[in-house]
Chain A
Amino acid sequence: MDMPSPDAGILARKARILARLAEVLPADAVIGDEAETRAYECDALSAYRCLPLAVVLPRTTEEVSAALRVCHEEGVPVVPRGSGTSLAGGAMPTADSVILGVARMNRVLETDYDNRFVHVEAGRTNLSVTGAVEAEGFFYAPDPSSQLACAIAGNIAMNSGGAHCLKYGVTTNNLLGLRLVRMDGTIITLGGPWGEPAGLDLPGVVCGSEGQLGVVTEAWLRILPKPEGARPVLVGFDSNEVAGACVADIIRAGILPVAIEFMDRPCIRATEAFAKAGYPDCEALLIIEVEGSEAEIAEQLDRIRAIALTHDPVEFREAADEDQARRIWLGRKSAFGAMGQINDYMCLDGTIPVSSLPHVLRRIGEMSREFGLDVGNVFHAGDGNMHPLILYNANAPGDLERCEAFGAEILKLCVEVGGCLTGEHGVGIEKRDLMSVQFAPVDLEAQMRVKDVFDPQWLLNPAKVFPLAASAGRRARR
């Protein structure tokens, strides 16, 4: 993975930059020692690492502003960081950058059940947002798999989704307003708890901008009343095509489950060996979850069963109680861990139109043989967001490169059938150089012009999202 060469001038000024940061921040908020900055050398895309120049861990929006002002004056790139769970390298540093971590900013500032919002600092973890409101019967809907650890700041940066977004949408659909600190230290409020911006939808463009437009320090989030209950069913099929057709029929019938998850045979076998969830040994498996009261759940499951049975499933398993429901989800939730037991893996995140599912799975199977690397597929079938997991051996020379080449081919296929490179993980460094597969130069130029407006000197997370060649001129401005 190419990254720009670090700016020698900045590296030479490290002591001065640290001293200036120490002037405006509390002593424990500035880290320059290599032993301590090492914890920030990578995110969850751990194949790529680089020690940052320094790390700052402010506790308030004003401290964020002060730190950014110093970096702005010094011309130092800043990489914003939530919890560092990005799978795309969104929080990976460069040697000449300052990591600005918001993890210490994790307070709940206001809960308002009558108006159904919560106002939090952006370092708060996703799951603990729900934790703050669940006693009153509410929850925060977006639920990325990393929700125990990932921060709202990162969720907003990447516009994170999750398993239940078929019904509840992704981060942008649940974000009412935010506070943002621009690179020059200016603090601004965009939108608010009433949820509609007064002019252009600026919260809408900040969400998903991968930390390149500003540092989000606070957010107003929509909270929803928890449904009365939820229950999954497991349906096994002897072909991917038939499983795909079943998904299409369910959606076509007007049923909107909260989740439809899909696993293929390699993934089923791996998770079964690992988690022993008792899954059938079949070609494709769906986990479909519905919500509501007992009677509403039964009404939906009756329809789903009727549709599924027209496709001759090898198994249709309903959860009779909590324990059985947990076991149905157990394999799915262990899928990544199970694949990790077998070998190192790379997780992709392309989205395809659901109608292309059988074709794409067939092509991935063919490519798997061509590249000589195994791949398992687990994904959100209702919305076409795929997660192919390519297995490789990090210690075998050339394996990572082969894996990346295979991954790139899969993502190109996603674009070719009308989908996109990334559905919920973000571009980061991982898919940066594939952006020109999906976008024409003029499309990328339009996006980069947005960054020009928010961050004219291209100091915020500059070497991400856009192909390095496309952003080179702008990155040279500082």
Chain B
Amino acid sequence: MRPQSEAELAEMVAGASGPLVLRGGGTRAVGAVEGEVLETGGLSGVVLYEPAALTLVVRAGTPLAEVEAILAAERQRLGFEVPDMRAVLAREGVSTIGGVVAANASGPRRVQVGACRDALLGVRFVTGRGEVVKNGGRVMKNVTGYDLVKLMAGSHGVLGALSEVSLKVQALPEAEATLVIEGLDDAAGLAALRAALGSPFDVSGVARVAGRSLIRVEGMAGSVAYRKGRLRARVAGDVTVAEAGASAALWRAVRDLEALAGRAGDLWRLSVLPTAAAEVAATLGGTAVWDCGGGVIWLLLPAGQAAEVRAVVAGRGQAVLVRGEGASPFAPEAAEVAALSAGLKAAFDPRGILNRGMI
């Protein structure tokens, strides 16, 4: 099914006789759910874009690339740096903005400006009951009623089918530079990232991949030059500096997990305390890409290690199986929390037809 309007989407959900699989472009969904596919690609286009207010309202099925092009024409962008997961997940397709929101897909700049959920100002969505609900709006500060906007971000389609999203955007910086640090082991290389995060120099990316630690600053030219100098004086190891396009290429590789693409195994995304990052990865083995100062670990492991991964992060973080079979993508929550999640799913989708079994 491929509705061409929000009203049609609502009719299709209301009239569905069995489970539905909500799909934007099918480029980043985790897990496997069964049912009739409902594609949102027909709900496309910009509803409103005010560059001077840093706000964009767009239909959920709009291709991400189109959103990025519209923003770039005004020298703006989505601040949360959306990963392109197609290579690492071996998928084709056209990523949609609704899918980005449903997955709360966010990249390295999350350490500075927050995740997709932090940039999400408003939503319109169709619940499993077939009702069209709006929440939030298009202004930066809004505490009017409950914040279902945050609830929808990262809900992977289990509460409703997004039809429209409002996002806060940001200006493109005039300059960027990245310190590339070599010659440190993982523990020392991750400590360097934490030191950068704890500095007043407003870093916008802190990652470690293939034995190199990367620290990014962005902004006005003079400010970038100043901060990169101050940061360089603080870190050990062999430091070189990548500027402008070279810096951007480094971060595209981190964001899209180029180091892990085309390789066999299960792909995990772990959220842990940065100080635990080195030990967690060493304990589990595999190949790691550390982002967000170590707070996010992308880990490529041999298949079938779900129990080990979940035991290692239990009580001190969480893990999502992004690519792999034989385990559900999300770990079971504590019973009291699971009861609330189940209650919310039942409230929004009493028939349990939307992406059944996902969370």
Contacts and interface: CB of A to CB of B under 8 A. Distances in A.
Contact of B132 (A137, A166, A442): A442
Interface stretch (A276-284, A314-322, A417-425): A417-425
Contact of B340 (A161, A354, A453): A453
A420 B142 contact: yes
How big is the A interface, by class?
35 or more
Which of A204, A227, A385 has the most C-beta atoms of chain B within 10 angstroms of its own C-beta? Answer: A204
A382 B153 CA distance: 25
Contact of B53 (A189, A251, A256): A251
A200 interface: yes
Contacts of B117: 201, 204
Given A199-B333, A382-B140, 12 more contacts: A112-B275, A115-B273, A115-B275, A159-B143, A159-B147, A194-B316, A199-B359, A201-B154, A293-B226, A440-B134, A450-B146, A452-B347
B223 A292 contact: yes
B199 interface: yes
A450 B148 contact: yes
B337 interface: yes
Interface string B170-186: 11111000000000000
Interface string B316-348: 111000000000001101101100110110111
30 contacts: A113-B198, A114-B198, A159-B147, A166-B140, A192-B317, A194-B317, A198-B333, A199-B337, A199-B341, A200-B151, A200-B341, A204-B117, A205-B147, A205-B150, A208-B146, A227-B200, A228-B200, A251-B171, A382-B140, A384-B53, A384-B140, A423-B143, A427-B144, A431-B144, A435-B145, A439-B134, A447-B135, A447-B146, A450-B146, A450-B344
B87 to A, nearest CB: 24
A435 B274 CA distance: 42
A446 B135 contact: yes
Contacts of A421: 144
A296 interface: yes
Contacts of A380: 141
A169 B114 contact: yes
B340 A172 contact: no
A196 interface: yes
Interface of B: 50-55, 75, 104, 114, 117-118, 127, 131-135, 137-148, 150-151, 153-155, 158-159, 170-174, 194, 197-200, 202, 220, 222-223, 226-227, 271-275, 295, 316-318, 330-331, 333-334, 336-337, 340-341, 343-344, 346-348, 359
Contacts of A295: 222-223, 226
Contacts of A165: 140-141
A382 B316 CA distance: 37
Contacts of B134: 439-440, 443
A166 B170 CA distance: 11
B139 A384 contact: yes
A200 B348 CA distance: 13
Interface string A288-330: 0000110110011001000000000000000000000000000
A194 B141 contact: no
A275 to B, nearest CB: 26
Contacts of B159: 200
Interface of A: 112-116, 137, 158-159, 161, 165-166, 169-170, 172-173, 186-190, 192-202, 204-205, 207-209, 225-228, 248-249, 251-256, 292-293, 295-296, 299-300, 303, 351-355, 380, 382-385, 418-427, 431, 435, 438-440, 442-447, 449-454, 465
Given A293-B226, A296-B222, A198 B200 contact: no
Which of A226, A385, A418, A444 has the most C-beta atoms of chain B within 10 angstroms of its own C-beta? Answer: A418
Which of B52, B194, B272 has the most C-beta atoms of chain A within 10 angstroms of its own C-beta? Answer: B52
A451 B138 CA distance: 24
A254 B75 contact: yes
A424 B337 CA distance: 28
A464 B150 CA distance: 21
Nearest to B140: A383
Contact of B220 (A166, A194, A299, A425): A299
A144 B133 CA distance: 30
Nearest to B319: A198
Given A169-B114, A351-B142, A207 B318 contact: no
Nearest to B118: A173
Contacts of A159: 143, 147
Contacts of B347: 449-450, 452-453
